[in-house]
Amino acid sequence: MNIAVLGCGRWGTFHAWYANRIGHNVTLWGRPGSARLAALVADRANEYLSLPKEIELSDNLTDVLKKAETVIISVGAQGLRALARQLSAEILVGKKFVLCMKGLEIGTGKRLSQVFAEEAGDVPAAVWVGPGHVQDFVREIPNCMVISSPSPELTREIVEIFASPLIRFYYGEDLLGTEIGAAAKNVMGLAAGMLDGMGYGSLKGALMARGARELSRLVEKMGGDPMTIYGLSHLGDYEATLFSPHSNNRRFGEELISGRKFTKLAEGVYTAEAILHLAADYQVDLPICRTVYEITSQGKEPKSELTKLFLRPTKSE
């Protein structure tokens, strides 16, 4: 099958590497002038992996889409709307899209599948999320992930295209809960990093329990299945996000406490802001998400805010 991967960052290059590894013909696209794409053209490698010579590299979106049957999108969540608008000018009939990204749109709180549908129109799109790190996958360490979509048939088709012994996929039956869970686990990752930076790592157990609980309340209020939060997209991804040295969100939180600037993308910073729109719309109290937002975007003092968060007045669990 001909696969196009849009986005040549850490996860975009991984998805190109993975799709090629399991036997697909792959073209990896980067924006014209992209420094990441230029580096890949020069060395066919980045800090995470080396790309086989069979993978084509291109900055011509029209050419890349023409021959693609399935299109993976792996860009920053806040850049999805602009890219989807670009795609809407192309011929998309007969193509399947897979959003391999986690986040919510700032300003609207919309899920990424909603953003994509608004701009690209009525084209089949699934979401691929779940635990795992590029650094582990390229060392042949397997993991489990989840694919969800509005259609059980599309979900099964995408799983069949990408399944392999390296990644065992599960069928996601609740797209709303899957997307909210995948986005919000990055907010919990920021909080975990702050706790690590303060030397309060033992509180991460409480963070996991209470974080999953507050997100399950939100999903339920939005009309999703609250139990989805306890699956692979959220709770199942906690090890990779709250404990792993590879987690950008955890590292961002830890560096914030130490006063050092973390320069890589930490999607949880944007998600913490966006998810508060949903909390207001659905009248759900999200104390952890709110505290993370106030620390990362409003400049509140981390130790006092996190201490207040976990030492609130006694209440029923």
Answer yes or no: do 123 and 250 share one domain.
no
Which pLDDT value is given to residue 290? 96
Mean pLDDT of 88-95: 93
Answer yes or no: do 15 and 160 share one domain.
yes
Which one of 128, 150, 172 terminates a domain? 172
Answer yes or no: do 203 and 146 share one domain.
no
Total domain count for the chain? 2
For residue 69, pLDDT beyond 60:
yes
Which one of 172, 201, 223 terminates a domain? 172
Which pLDDT value is given to residue 157? 98
Answer yes or no: do 164 and 191 share one domain.
no
* Residues 227, 137: Cα–Cα separation, whole Å: 27
Q: Is residue 177 part of a domain?
A: no
Q: Is residue 298 part of a domain?
A: yes
Query: In this structure, what token pair is assigned to residue 131?
Result: 């635990």
Answer yes or no: do 151 and 262 share one domain.
no
* Residues 308, 110: Cα–Cα separation, whole Å: 30
* Residues 196, 152: Cα–Cα separation, whole Å: 40
Which pLDDT value is given to residue 315? 61
Answer yes or no: do 126 and 47 share one domain.
yes
* Residues 129, 120: Cα–Cα separation, whole Å: 21
For residue 317, pLDDT beyond 60:
no
- Contact by Cβ (8 Å): 112, 105: yes
Q: Is residue 36 part of a domain?
A: yes
Answer yes or no: do 229 and 167 share one domain.
no
Which pLDDT value is given to residue 263? 80
Neighbours of 148 (CB within 10 A): 27
Query: In this structure, what token pair is assigned to residue 237?
Result: 């991804």
Which pLDDT value is given to residue 316? 57
Q: Which is catalytic among the residues 95, 96, 110, 185?
A: 185
Is residue 66 annotated as a catalytic residue, yes or no? no
pLDDT bucket at 312, cuts 50 / 70 / 90: low
Calculate the alpha carbon distances from 150 to 96, 117, 159, 176, 226 in Å: 13, 11, 14, 9, 17
pLDDT in tens, 108-157: 999 999 999 999 998 999 999 999 999 999 999 999 999 999 999 999 99
Mean pLDDT of 55-70: 97
Q: Is residue 38 part of a domain?
A: yes
Q: What is the domain extent for residue 139?
A: 2-172
Q: Is residue 59 part of a domain?
A: yes
Give the SS3 label for residue 314: coil
* Residues 311, 304: Cα–Cα separation, whole Å: 10
pLDDT in tens, 7-44: 999 999 999 999 999 999 999 999 999 999 999 999 99
For residue 173, pLDDT beyond 90:
yes
CATH of the domain at 112: 3.40.50.720
Q: Is residue 178 part of a domain?
A: no
Q: Is residue 315 part of a domain?
A: no
**Percent of the chain with pLDDT strictly greater than 90:** 91
Answer yes or no: do 194 and 155 share one domain.
no
Which pLDDT value is given to residue 313? 58
Q: Is residue 317 part of a domain?
A: no
* Residues 218, 97: Cα–Cα separation, whole Å: 27
Q: Where are the beta strands (DSSP E) in 150-203?
A: 167-172
Answer yes or no: do 156 and 19 share one domain.
yes
Answer yes or no: do 148 and 213 share one domain.
no
CATH of the domain at 243: 1.10.1040.10
Answer yes or no: do 119 and 13 share one domain.
yes
Answer yes or no: do 144 and 13 share one domain.
yes
Which pLDDT value is given to residue 314? 57
pLDDT bucket at 269, cuts 50 / 70 / 90: very high
- Contact by Cβ (8 Å): 105, 78: yes
pLDDT in tens, 222-249: 999 999 999 999 999 999 999 999 999 9
Which one of 139, 172, 205 terminates a domain? 172
Which pLDDT value is given to residue 309? 86
